[in-house]
């Protein structure tokens, strides 16, 4: 696997404003270093323990994103360094992130995860939940977190139309939320959608951030 070649191909294919988060879960620090040495700095993990151990093992200028389900009791381990949490799916979690961010005297950027897939197993707010969450939301209480946008995962399926319709719903919700709750906030501007199997559709539907693992590093065994 030539990871550098793979990411070059992806960048050439995607509009320049779409960021690629290299999802390095299950990969060794050596594999990550190959990409790092080619100048790449944006990596994402889905488990707290793995994220923390890679943070410790790898150069300090890597920008680490948390993309997987996050339990409130583990926020403290990543709060000192994480640069974006894609998977905020409850008020309780956001409160904890705010508290831990304050302790670390840094503002933590967050995305609200929206459940758009048919599968029950994927985490996230429903449309109604996120709207009522934001109605109650008072930014003054959350000085140490910054909601930067939304994240969602489409159904794992070969049905391109289904995937497209899910991404389209998410992009529509993003616009509604931006216009309703963040009209004067230029930093509410990230829409994290698209993985190895569906990033093209996601980019066509307005993604600003794709999360790509296997297309960069090869198939995972687990």
By CB under 6 A, name the binding residues for ligand PLP.
23, 25, 46, 67-68, 195-197, 211-215
Shortest gap between Cβ of 140 and ligand PLP (angstroms)? 30
- Which residues, 6+ apart, have CB-to-CB distance to 15 below 8 Å? 203
Q: How far is the CB of 72 from ligand PLP (least distance, A)?
A: 18
Nearest residue (CB) to ligand PLP, 142 versus 201: 201
Q: What is the DSSP letter of 125?
A: B
Residues 149, 160: Cα–Cα separation, whole Å: 24
Between 144 and 154, CB nearer to ligand PLP: 154
Q: In whole angstroms, what is the distance from residue 64 CA to residue 70 CA?
A: 14
Taking CB atoms, the residue at the shortest distance from ligand PLP is 213
Closest to ligand PLP by CB, 142 vs 216, is: 216
Min dist. Cβ of residue 10 to ligand PLP (A)? 10
Candidates 191, 180, 187; CA nearest to 147 is 187
Contacts 24+ apart (CB under 8 A), 132-140: 133/91, 134/177, 134/180, 134/181, 136/91, 137/181
Shortest separation between residue 213's beta carbon and ligand PLP, angstroms? 3
Residue closer to ligand PLP by CB (options 98, 113) is 113
To the nearest whole angstrom, how small is the minimum distance from the Cβ of residue 121 to ligand PLP?
12
Which of 25, 64, 67 minimizes the C-alpha distance to 210? 67
Question: Smallest gap, in angstroms, from Cβ of residue 163 to ligand PLP?
Answer: 13
Cβ nearer to ligand PLP, comparing 89 with 100: 89
The dihedral region occupied by 194, where left means phi > 0, alpha psi between -120 and 50, and beta the remainder, is left
Q: Which is nearer to ligand PLP, 123 or 181 (CB)?
A: 123
Which helix (DSSP H) or strand (DSSP E) does residue 52 occupy? helix 48-57
Closest by CA to 27, choosing from 10, 44, 6, is: 44
CA atoms of 202 and 181, how far apart (whole Å): 24
Contact 196, 211 (CB under 8 A): no
């Amino acid at each position: 696997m030539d990871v550098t070649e793979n990411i070059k191909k992806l960048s050439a294919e995607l509009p320049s404003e779409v960021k690629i988060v290299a999802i390095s879960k299950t990969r060794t620090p050596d594999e990550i270093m190959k990409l790092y040495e080619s100048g790449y700095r944006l990596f994402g993990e889905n488990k707290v323990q793995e994220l923390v151990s890679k943070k410790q093992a790898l150069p300090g200028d890597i920008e680490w994103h948390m993309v997987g389900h996050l339990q409130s009791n583990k926020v403290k381990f990543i709060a000192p360094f994480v640069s974006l949490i894609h998977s905020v799916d409850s008020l309780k979690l956001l409160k904890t992130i705010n508290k831990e961010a304050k302790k670390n005297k840094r503002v933590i950027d967050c995305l609200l995860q929206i459940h758009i897939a048919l599968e029950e197993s994927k985490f996230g707010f429903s449309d109604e939940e996120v709207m009522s969450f934001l109605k109650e939301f008072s930014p003054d209480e959350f000085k140490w977190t910054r909601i930067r946008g939304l994240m969602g995962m489409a159904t794992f399926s070969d049905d391109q139309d289904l995937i497209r319709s899910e991404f389209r719903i998410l992009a529509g919700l993003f616009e509604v939320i931006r216009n309703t709750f963040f009209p004067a906030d230029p930093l509410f501007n990230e829409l994290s959608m698209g993985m190895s199997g569906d990033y093209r559709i996601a980019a066509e539907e307005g993604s600003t951030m794709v999360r790509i693992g296997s297309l960069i590093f090869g198939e995972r065994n687990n």
